[in-house]
Amino acid sequence: NAGVTQTPKFQVLKTGQSMTLQCAQDMNHNSMYWYRQDPGMGLRLIYYSASEGTTDKGEVPNGYNVSRLNKREFSLRLESAAPSQTSVYFCASSEGSGGGIQYFGAGTRLSVL
């Protein structure tokens, strides 16, 4: 049971570099989410996708772009990384249009120097 798989697990970037965080789920879920978790701030929603082909901004979307490539995959791109984007990033998915349990990946730990 793979569930939600995130790659990479760890990444170190220099300021201004770009990268894409990958997320895939094998539960045939319609809804997918990207969160960031910071000490003292809890988890905050960056972007979400209620279905294939749709994406919407969450609470902290600035500096990020997303792509819902197909039903399984939802990627998060940092075009020009900044130290403020140092965080742990979690991808999640849920069935239907988002009313059910959310299942989380193991996270990507990103440091921007």
Residues that bind other proteins (CB under 8 A): 4, 31, 33, 40-45, 48, 50, 56, 58, 90, 92, 94, 97-107
Which CB sits closer to other proteins, 17 or 104? 104
Least spacing, CB of residue 28 vs other proteins, in Å: 16
Least spacing, CB of residue 39 vs other proteins, in Å: 9
Which CB sits closer to other proteins, 63 or 98? 98
Which CB sits closer to other proteins, 14 or 40? 40
Pairing label, strands 108-112, 10-13: parallel
Which CB sits closer to other proteins, 22 or 102? 102
Could you give the dihedral angle defined by the CA atoms of residues 10, 22, 45 and 49, in that order, rounded to the nearest 10 degrees? -170
- Contact at 8 Å (CB) between 89 and 107? yes
Q: How far is CA 68 from CA 21, 31, 77, 108, 111, in A?
A: 12, 10, 11, 18, 24
HSE (side-chain half, CA atoms, 13 Å) at 45: 13
Least spacing, CB of residue 29 vs other proteins, in Å: 11
